[in-house]
Amino acid sequence: ENLVLILDFGSQYTHLITRRVRQLGVLSLCVSGTAPLSSLAGLRPRAVVLSGGPHSVHAEGAPSFPEGFLDFAAGAGAHVLGVCYGMQLLVQTLGGAVEPGVRQEYGDMEVEVTAPSSALYGEQGKRQSVWMSHGDEVVRLPEGFEVVARSVQGAIAAIEHREKRFYGLQYHPEVTHSPQGMETLRHFLFDVCGIKADWKMQDVLDEEIKTIKSMVGPDEHVICALSGGVDSTVAATLVHNAIGDRLHCVFVDNGLLRYKEKERVMSTFNSDLHLPVTCIDASEKFLTELKGVKDPEMKRKIIGREFIVVFDEFAHMLEQKIGKRPEYLVQGTLYPDVIESCPPPGSGRTHSHTIKSHHNVGGLPKDMKLKLIEPLKLLFKDEVRKLGSILNVPESFLKRHPFPGPGLAVRVIGDVTAGNALEVLRQVDEIFIQAIKDAGLYDEIWQAFAVFLPVQTVGVQGDQRTHSHVVALRAITSEDGMTANWYDFERPFLVDVVKKICNNVRGVNRVVLDVTSKPPATVEWE
């Protein structure tokens, strides 16, 4: 009843709007801005946010909302807020004018509220610093609109048409560089739209359990793919709460796990989570299929395919044991996985593209026999951790750093079976992570890992010339994995880690540090 719909027009910040709204206790869903109107059927949003985007509204093929959208919003009684490109699109569609700006505005900018009483700003004050990112600007408003704020350069920064419930911001309120942006969003949602903050993790849990019970028949069985990570563990615990012992968990050793990962994870499952888990060693099969493969997308798809083969075989084994074949497969797919793996529906890839195929989203074969249950696919990582806490998953498990489904395959650049790359990487990664834990930094970092590079360099070790491998270290801070900053280690820590790696891992004579944020890079190297 208090849904906020985000129409995505390709901005790198769209997911942030989704998150900011949720942080205010309101359910928000992100869909393609160009999706057909039929895909919105049945939704009754209280507010719709039109996101920013990299295009000019004048560019050929520039994305636009579907015909009839404004009537849909009016019929739902929804307030519409255009942000940056979204504001320009709203203005142009309604008969206003947008032109290339005489002075383009990028980065920090002061704006001044010019209207004596503004629905958008309420009592926020006359002046605030915001984050601009636009080359075009609105030069003529549609009939009935009012300018309520301008930049210090004179550009229109905010507009509103209270009667028709249309609003626009030429800047990004969702980013931290707009310090009062959250207050603007809060005021818009609660005071302007009259939305209630009624979205809570307990409600999500209750709804998901209800959904699973209605989906899975009383005599049907379900397989859950456990990776040892937070996502699959929370998903398994949730489904176990819904259907009990008809859930059969399987942990697959695909030959791409970290140092002693299988032993550590199985011990945790048995002692702390009390989940019934079968461990399957399929390492030889996976590595055989990956031999000689260097393309990262191909590696992900091979791994996704082989996982399904293992699950199908496990389902057949269970059928012989319990007399009934499992029909469903549970996976811990998250919202960022969905966003990164698939272009928005109906986009025709005109304004968004696949960043990478996550093995449990874009890497699944079309002829898969098992039907998917993905209870977390609309949640971000921090929301999953909150859900796990409600489900009494141990805190130590919830704080584990994310580990990619394809495992070390995306941390060995190129052929994962070449030489002893996997073994070298396991040793380096173990030293790095243990050093982080020993320094008390583990909980400050979202994710940390090592990468094996297909590069050899000249070095001097033990008074002898060496020609050995290069490894990279990466550590980031993040809220949800959609954007990230590299973690700034103190120099003594790095000196100590590099010394331990070069002295203890045979075949490594050079260590480099990845200091790239996301964007422009992704978290993983492949």
The residue among 167, 192, 217 that closes a domain is: 192
CA dihedral for 87, 88, 91, 93, sign (positive or negative)? negative
Do 125 and 52 sit in the same domain of this protein? yes
Q: Is the pLDDT of residue 480 over 80?
A: no
Answer yes or no: 249 catalytic: no
Domain annotation covers residue 520 = no
Q: Is the pLDDT of residue 130 over 80?
A: yes
Answer yes or no: 172 catalytic: yes
Q: Is the pLDDT of residue 300 over 80?
A: yes
d(CA 447, CA 402): 6
Do 96 and 126 sit in the same domain of this protein? yes
Q: Is 34 annotated as a binding residue?
A: no
Which range is most confident: 56-60, 265-269, 431-435? Answer: 431-435
Do 349 and 373 sit in the same domain of this protein? yes
Stretch 49-73: mean pLDDT: 89
Mean pLDDT computed over every residue of the chain:
88
Of 189-198, 355-364, 463-472, the range with the lowest mean pLDDT is 355-364
CATH number where 234 lies: 3.40.50.620
d(CA 93, CA 60): 15
Contact 113, 121 (CB under 8 A): yes
Residue 355: pLDDT band (50, 70, 90) is very low
Which residue among the candidates 79, 161, 172, 221 is catalytic per the annotation?
Answer: 172
Do 221 and 317 sit in the same domain of this protein? yes
Domain annotation covers residue 109 = yes
Do 226 and 158 sit in the same domain of this protein? no
Answer yes or no: 174 catalytic: yes
> What pLDDT does residue 466 have?
87
Do 220 and 186 sit in the same domain of this protein? no
Residue predicted with more confidence, 273 or 234: 234
**Which alpha helices (H) appear in 323-391, and where do they start and end?**
335-341, 381-390
Range of the domain at 34: 4-192
Q: Is 332 annotated as a binding residue?
A: no
Domain annotation covers residue 364 = yes
Do 170 and 318 sit in the same domain of this protein? no
Q: From the CB of residue 193, how many other CB atoms can be counted at a distance below 10 Å?
A: 21
Stretch 393-408: mean pLDDT: 88
| Contacting residues for 191 by C-beta, under 8 A, at least 6 apart | 122
Contact 299, 286 (CB under 8 A): no
CA dihedral for 513, 517, 519, 520, sign (positive or negative)? negative
Contact 177, 108 (CB under 8 A): yes
Q: Is 191 annotated as a binding residue?
A: no
Which residue among the candidates 84, 193, 224, 249 is catalytic per the annotation?
Answer: 84
Quote the pTM value: 0.75
Is the previous residue joined to 406 through a cis bond, with omega within 30 degrees of 0? no
Q: Is 154 annotated as a binding residue?
A: no
Distances (CA, A) of 309 to 52, 232, 300, 301, 368: 41, 19, 14, 12, 9
Domain annotation covers residue 407 = no
Do 386 and 469 sit in the same domain of this protein? no
Q: Is 229 annotated as a binding residue?
A: yes
CATH number where 149 lies: 3.40.50.880
Do 174 and 205 sit in the same domain of this protein? no
Which residue among the candidates 105, 137, 160, 174 is catalytic per the annotation?
Answer: 174
Q: How far apart are the first and last CA of the chain?
A: 40
CATH number where 456 lies: 3.30.300.10
d(CA 265, CA 225): 13
Q: For residue range 263-278, list pLDDT tens digits in order.
A: 988 888 888 777 889 9
Domain count, the chain: 3
Do 391 and 435 sit in the same domain of this protein? no
